[in-house]
Amino acid sequence: MESPLIERPNVLQELPADQVLKDLIRASRIFVAIAANSLAGDNEPLSLQQYRALALLASREGQRPADLSKYLGVTPSTTTALCDRLVQKGMISRRRRGSDRRSIYLVVSARGHEQLERISARRGRLLGEIFLRLPSPTQVQLAEALPAFIEAAGEADIDEWSIRGLVAGRSTASDWVQ
């Protein structure tokens, strides 16, 4: 299957779509290397999949395991094993909401939030070093383009991660019971 950039070359009227695609792939390799580096630099390293699950749970606190499976694009059994490891590390907990004993919800612990903050800080330092090497006009162009790219990808805003477990005004961590 061709890339959408190649299939619809009129999207990039002034730039060769194949070169843009190559540059995006090269940039993605850099981001993966930065992500791997930021995950490895801790006493309690997380795998990329564990980090992604933790970040998704932090941005959408109180998810059911089935919802997390859908977001991650993995089977429920894979999600169960992944969550078991995160529970063992003290990064998340499984809780019930109120009197509904059938539904289990996944909640990020304070330790999990702290881990995410440490990883984000390391990643921010690595990205900042690269960003500052760019000429000022390119920094401005990139800073203006990134929000649209992030929105198109559907990535949660880091400001949604709350150490207190606030959920977009719907509930607080105290609403979740063990």
Q: Tokens 């695609």 sit at which residue? A: 21
Task: With beta carbons less than 8 A apart as the criterion, state whether 57 and 93 touch.
Answer: no
Return the CATH number of 41-177, one of 1.10.10.10, 1.10.10.970, 3.40.1360.10, 1.10.3720.10: 1.10.10.10
Q: Determine the Cα–Cα distance for residues 6 and 141; give it in Å rounded to an integer.
A: 23
Query: Per-domain residue ranges for the chain?
Result: 41-177
Q: What is the pLDDT of residues 33-83, one digit of tens each?
A: 998 888 887 777 899 899 999 999 998 878 899 999 998 999 999 999 999
Q: Tell if the pTM clears 0.75, that is, is over it.
A: no
Which structure tokens are listed for 27? 């940039």
